[in-house]
Structure 1
Amino acid sequence: MIKPVLAGAACLVLLAACNSERSPEAVDKAQDAASVPVGQTSAATMGANLQSAYIPNAAMGDMYEIQAADIALQRSQNARVKELAQMIKTDHMAATNAFKAMVPQAAPDAALPTALDERRQGLIDNLRSASAANFDATFIDQQIAAHNEALTLHRGFSNEDSPLAAHARSVVPKIEGHLRMAEEIKAAM
């Protein structure tokens, strides 16, 4: 029931954006905004409660973060944004490596995703297509949403009866640090 409601809400957001402003960036911004409740709901429900949902969501979250950071390192002209992007890339690569080492022991039959899901790929596409003038704001807005989603996912799973709960607990402080820095940058923009 949750998926149809969220899909309907996302469609309404997109239609409103398309009707009020027809620029591609307005549509991209609406897509990014529609992604937020979908990601939060997924993280809070299935991802935080089921190891079979936590594994792909944690892995794709890191994949998205690394790809977004790479784009920001190439495109941003803001030293603080680049500093955040480098921190995100370093920390999420370390988290990915630790996670990949833990998953086979915790869930021998689990397959780690090798590509982003459609929602996260859409965020990457929108980041790539952002104009130079709007790039930093787009990156920071996406990072605030993505790190809030990641906190919901990892905090929720940290109390589960799984060896991966230790991983969830270990990444929360880094995610909180990224979120704080992104919020500080946004406030200064």
Structure 2
Amino acid sequence: MLRTLFVGAACAALLAGCNQAEDQDPVNAVQDAASAPVGQMSAATMGANTVGGYVPNAAMGDMYEIQAAEIAMERTQNAQVRELAQMIMTDHRAASEKMTALAPQAAPNVTLPTELDERRQGLIDNLRTADAAAFDQVYLDQQVAAHQEALTLHRGFADNTDAPQLATHAREVVPKIEMHLERARALQEAM
């Protein structure tokens, strides 16, 4: 059942990516679209179930969000997108700092990542190479998918009893992630 859902979601994402291809490099559009269901599945199955899955995935999500926001701050010409990127950068830096402080005691056997995984690095690369006219749409599409993934991850871990400090952290970041998602969706719909 899970495999069927994943394959169906991946196919839908590939089709969606093909529809976006006219404004963005077709390969990059498909890669970005396919990343959404992969991230959701990963967050729901691996990340939210164990400390060893949650900590690196949350840290990686923050790292991606910060880098993507930095690129948006450099490239966008839209004041509202710039405002969203600044808010995302500020909030995810704070979340990252808190995770870095909590992890040594709450998850002593888990190593925090120091660089992005291949999937998220691909998203960053796609942002860097996006056509100027399509940049805002690419950024917003990525942000909607990334924040949906982050919500799945943090909500799924929020009731974890093995690491109460990390569960508290998960609950604390959910409202900010929801706010980012809501704002990104509103901007996405306005374009």
Cα deviation for residue 110 of structure 1 reads 1.3
Deviation at 1:15, TM superposition (A): 9.9
Distance 1:62 1:17, change over 3 A: closer
- 1:97 is aligned to 2:103: no
> Structure 1 16/172 Cα, relative in aligned 2: closer, same or farther at 3 Å?
closer
How many Å apart are 1:38 and its aligned residue?
Answer: 0.6
What is residue 34 of structure 1 aligned with on the other side? Answer: 34
Structure 1 letter corresponding to 2:77: Q
State the match for 1:85 in structure 2.
85
- Structure-2 change in CA distance of 1:127 and 1:7 (3 Å): farther
Name the counterpart of 1:143: 143
RMSD: 2.5
| Runs of 4+ residues over 4 Å off in structure 1 | 1-18, 21-24
Partners of 1:2 and 1:117 in 2: CA distance: 23
1:13 and 1:50 map into 2 onto residues whose CA distance is: 27
Amino acid at match of 1:52: G
Contact conserved, 1:10 with 1:31, CA < 8 A, in 2? no
Equivalent in the alignment of 2:113: 113
- Going from structure 1 to structure 2, the CA distance change for 1:69 and 1:8 (only over 3 Å counts) comes to same
Cα contact 1:47–1:53 (8 A) shared by 2:
yes
Once the two structures are TM-superposed, the CA of residue 25 in structure 1 deviates from its matched residue by 1.0
2:54 and 2:153 in contact (8 A); partners too: yes
- Equivalent residue, structure 1, for 2:58: 58
1:115-172 Cα distance to aligned partner (Å, 9 max, x none): 0000000100111110000000000000000000000000000011112101100100
- Identify the residue that residue 67 of structure 2 maps to in structure 1: 67
Q: Which one-letter code corresponds to 1:84 in the other structure?
A: L
Offset, 1:107: 1.1
- Aligned amino acid, residue 168 of structure 1: A
2:176 counterpart SS class:
helix
| Contact 1:69 1:88 survives alignment (8 Å) | yes
Task: Tell me the equivalent position of 1:180.
Answer: 182
- Going from structure 1 to structure 2, the CA distance change for 1:160 and 1:82 (only over 3 Å counts) comes to same
The TM-score with structure 2 as length reference comes to: 0.89
Q: Is the 8 A contact 1:76 1:135 kept in 2?
A: yes
- Identical aligned residues as a percent: 63
Q: Kindly provide the amino acid, as one letter, of the partner of residue 88 in structure 2.
A: I
**Change in CA separation of 1:91 and 1:23 when aligned onto 2, cut-off 3 Å:** closer
1:167 corresponds in structure 2 to 169
Distance in 1 separating the partners of 2:156 and 2:168: 12
SS in 2 for 1:112: coil
- Does the 8 A contact of 1:14 with 1:27 survive in 2? no
Contact 1:65 1:88 in 2 (8 A): yes
